[in-house]
Amino acid sequence: MSSKLWGGRFQKSAEQWVDEFGASISFDQELVLEDLEGSIAHVTMLGTTGILNHEEVVAIKKGLHTLQKKAEENELHYSVEQEDIHLNLEKMLIDIVGPVGGKLHTGRSRNDQVATDMHLFLKRHVKKTIALIISLQNTIIEKSKEHIETIAPGYTHLQRAQPISFAHHLMAYFWMLERDKSRFSESISRIDLSPLGAGALAGTTFPIDRELTANLLGFSDIYQNSIDAVSDRDFIIEFLSNSSMLMTHLSRLAEEIILWSSEEFRFIELDDSFSTGSSIMPQKKNPDMAELIRGKTGRVYGNLIGLLTVMKGLPLAYNKDLQEDKEGMFDTLHTITGSLRIFEGMIRTMNINQDSLNKAVHNDFSNATELADYLVTKGLPFREAHEITGKLVYYCIEHSNFLLDLSLEEMQQASPLIESDVFKVLAPETAVSRRNSQGGTGFEEVRKQIEKAQDILSSLISM
Ligand code: ARG
């Protein structure tokens, strides 16, 4: 005889190691509060609809509240024998309230139960993720405000391209995060659906009220098809996909932070609290946290591909394969929330090395476009201006100097159109400040951009 809650049909028990292989309790215990919440809503509905009588409902609810309290105090002891969080809690309930506890599962299946738990859990945690994104965005704004007029080399192909405002570069990440945030927000409407009452797959013969449980659980609507309700995992895939995109963005910034804090760049210095030393090389200060976030991006992508692969070709409705939806989701959630928190602190505390940035922009050819544009304003076609500037750059390389080191005479040899006003034009400060096309790096535009970003965040607060 089996001691399982579903053991009636079984003549013998599985061996312990087989149970262990099939059990999900080691990880789905993270759903404990959602599972209890779902059960409380379900039993309330069983009472309202007259499926259970008042005394039964009171007894079961009392037991569930006891379990809630114990869960909050971390006092529940789970067993592999009871397989998953649902059966563990049901067994505990029966142990507390007696056989009446066995009535809780009337008109319900673990299939709609687990789906409900996942919806509740994800809805809650996507909201928390959004709050963490906002906090990082705020920090990016604050850092940017301090560095609107800090000039840095801007890159294409990782080659010095044109000088930019350092704030402009940082703010690019604000907008990436803004898109991440809107993806997470928009996904909520698809998470915010109640599968509860779908039963195993086909609904139930009991006169349940799905709208009522949906309401009690704070869902905006219910799944219209019971088969879809128990087998849909799109909302988790979407979460993993949105998380992957977020991690892509964080990983790009991580890579820049790693580059910038290297001896070769020295553009920033990370605070000691976000760096580590080497066990052998005493001089080292490693950007470990940034590297780790870059590395962790891999596991988030892996979780996305993992679940897509689980779902591919899976027949309707519930299959045990679906138990594989959980670990990747929990792991992704922990990874993105950890990464967002680390990033917020790392950006807030990092030092921008203005001297190095200044040196960098004064010792390169990133003002070459200025010279070409200058010649265009003197009437030359851009192609010719480009050619002349290129020749002057080559001349500088031959003489180991930069455009601003040339004398007016040397420049005029390349083109008689060049006059003494060229020196001001070539100064990196001028190059940046004049780029005031919309969304450009000109100081005025960057100020406007930051204001707009602040407006977006403050409109969220007032919502
Ligand atoms: N532990 C299971 C899961 O996570 C719960 C649902 C089990 N349903 C079933 N019919 N075996 O998917």
H, E, C per residue of 32-100: HHHHHHHHHHHHHHHHHCCCCCHHHHHHHHHHHHHHHHHHHCCCCCCCHHHCCHHHHHHHHHHHHHCHH
* pLDDT mean across residues, the chain: 96
Residue 283: what pLDDT?
A: 79
Q: Which tokens is 47 given?
A: 């009472």
Catalytic residue among 278, 334, 399, 458: 278
CB of 114 sitting under 6 A from ligand 1: yes
Instruction: Summarize the confidence of residues 220-229 as an average pLDDT.
Output: 98
Residue 8: what pLDDT?
A: 84
Which of 31, 320, 325 to mutate to test ligand 1, by most ligand atoms within 8 A of the CB atom?
320
Which of 111, 196, 230, 233 to mutate to test ligand 1, by most ligand atoms within 8 A of the CB atom?
111
Report the C-alpha gap between 112 and 41 in whole angstroms.
13
CB contact at 8 A, 177 and 249: yes
Report the C-alpha gap between 147 and 168 in whole angstroms.
9
Report the C-alpha gap between 355 and 318 in whole angstroms.
61
Residue 278: what pLDDT?
A: 75
CB of 258 sitting under 6 A from ligand 1: no
pLDDT in tens, 265-295: 999 999 988 888 877 777 778 999 999 999 9
CB of 121 sitting under 6 A from ligand 1: no
Atom of ligand 1 nearest to the CA of 85: 1
Distance from residue 440's CA to the centre of ligand 1 (Å): 53
| Whether the predicted pLDDT of 17 surpasses 80 | yes
Instruction: Write down the residue that tokens 């994800």 correspond to.
Output: 122
Active site residue 194: no
Active site residue 3: no
Residue 462: what pLDDT?
A: 63
Cross-strand partners of 269 = 351
| Whether the predicted pLDDT of 2 surpasses 80 | no
pLDDT in tens, 44-85: 999 999 999 999 999 999 999 999 999 999 999 999 999 999
Atom of ligand 1 nearest to the CA of 84: 1
Q: 456, exposed or middle or buried, with CB in 10 Å at 0-12, 13-18, 19+?
A: middle
Residue 1: what pLDDT?
A: 55
Distance from residue 321's CA to the centre of ligand 1 (Å): 9
Distance from residue 7's CA to the centre of ligand 1 (Å): 15
How large is the angle between the packed helices 110-146 and 326-349, nearest 10 degrees?
10
pLDDT in tens, 426-436: 999 999 999 99
Which of 4, 78, 114 to mutate to test ligand 1, by most ligand atoms within 8 A of the CB atom?
114
| Chain centroid to CA 90 | 34
How would residue 9 be classed by pLDDT, with cut points 50, 70 and 90?
Answer: confident
> What's the whole-model pTM score?
0.94
